[in-house]
Amino acid sequence: MTKNLNDVLRVSKDQEGLSRRKLLANVGKVTIGAVAAGSVIGFGAEKVLASDVNLKVNGQQVAAGAKIEKGRAVAQIRPVVEQLGGTVNWDNVSKTVDVNGKAVSGGSKYPAYPWPYKKLDPEVVRKRGYENYFKGGCMYGVAATLIETLREEVGFPYTDLPVEMYKYGAGGAGGWGTLCGCLNGAGAVMNLVTKDYGGIYGEIIGWYTEASFPSKKHEAYCKFNDQVQTVSKSPLCHASVTKWASASGAKIGSDEKKDRCAKTTGDTAARVVELLNQHMEGSFVAAYKPAEEFKGCLDCHKTALDNEQGKMNCVSCHDPHN
Ligand code: HEC
Ligand code: HEC
């Protein structure tokens, strides 16, 4: 049975006639390294302990009746743990103080969404994106690269995000060739750092459909120089990769194809950073416009008829009929 610790203390103290010293002896073995390395923090009812030493938790003064007793720092445990973002519960049956810090990291609570962003260097990210592709694929390559770089520039909370969760996007989500993982990873991070990500996300998807991949900006460190470039006309992994494989003659399972996708990953990560930097400083201007070859289709099917979902280039799949 779990109860409010202070209530239980009062009850058990009255009922069992326990002295405060005994209470401390029962539960005084909890060590909180973050507060005072090596010292033992106990707790007691508020009325008993007079606060005669200052107690700071991560730089913040905490009223926990702290005092020095026989050379040991003694304070109520609840205010300390709660300041760290954890919980304290008392199990009267097993006589257990249950301290849980699972929701805590670095002693701080997670900041409210969106998470802080700092301007990053697109070229640092381009190279890292290329390298990370080989560790977990395209979506991982973009998202982990941005998050790792934000770990360096911002630190917490990015230090706590398990980047492995982005591996699912490889091969257009589990190898299905749907949305290119580079774009999937781009959207995940853009959405994390700004609520208003729609404009720049649309921009990067449009940019991707018209870009010549892979760029020639990886020549200094890549495995295959001067690779064939293709324009996908589509955000789909299927169109992007298959078109390139066909033009280059490389097999989908080949090292050449992996190098091409690693470069595409770096190029997309770099573009995310350019767009985010502009977005954050208020200088972003949308440049992508649907190409003439399918603008008319959108005018009819999207605007007038309103019977079509999506912004993809229609003629990459349908024959024009008008
Ligand atoms: C002047 C308006 C107009 C334009 C421009 C237009 N469509 Fe259509 N489209 C229609 C109408 C009307 C139909 C028949 C009703 C329906 O199925 O929506 C149609 C039908 C279709 C169909 C259904 C298949 C079929 O043949 O029945 C497809 C696919 C299609 N259009 C694709 C396109 C594409 C791709 C473009 C641009 C290259 C395009 N449309 C441009 C009006 C337009
Ligand atoms: C990635 C390929 C792809 C793209 C890009 C695409 N479509 Fe389609 N579209 C399809 C498929 C697949 C269907 C379903 C065809 C079916 O099973 O009948 C479809 C269905 C349609 C239909 C209904 C067809 C019918 O049988 O009545 C219309 C209309 C249509 N698309 C218009 C468009 C327009 C307009 C665009 C561009 C804004 C577009 N599509 C872009 C693949 C695509």
Tell me the per-residue pLDDT of 211-266, one tens digit each, with 9 for 90 and over: 999 999 999 999 999 999 999 999 999 999 999 999 999 999 999 999 999 999 99
The Å distance, Cα 301 to ligand 1 centre, comes to 7
Please, what is the Cα angle at 194 between 188 and 199, to 5 degrees? 85
For ligand 1, mutation pick of 297, 299, 311, 317 (most atoms within 8 Å of CB): 297
Query: How far is Cα of residue 170 from the mean position of the Cα atoms in its chain?
Result: 18
How many Cβ atoms sit within 10 Å of the Cβ of residue 98? 12
Task: Please list, in sequence order, all residues whose beta carbon lies within 8 angstroms of the beta carbon of residue 83, skipping any fewer than 6 positions away.
Answer: 57, 58, 60, 62
Scanning the structure block, which residue is given the tokens 């200052």? Answer: 54
CA separation for the pair 191, 173 (Å, rounded)? 18
Q: Which atom of ligand 1 is nearest to the CA of 305?
A: 18
What are the tens digits of pLDDT across the range 128-186? 999 999 999 999 999 999 999 999 999 989 999 999 999 999 999 999 999 999 999 99
CA separation for the pair 203, 29 (Å, rounded)? 57
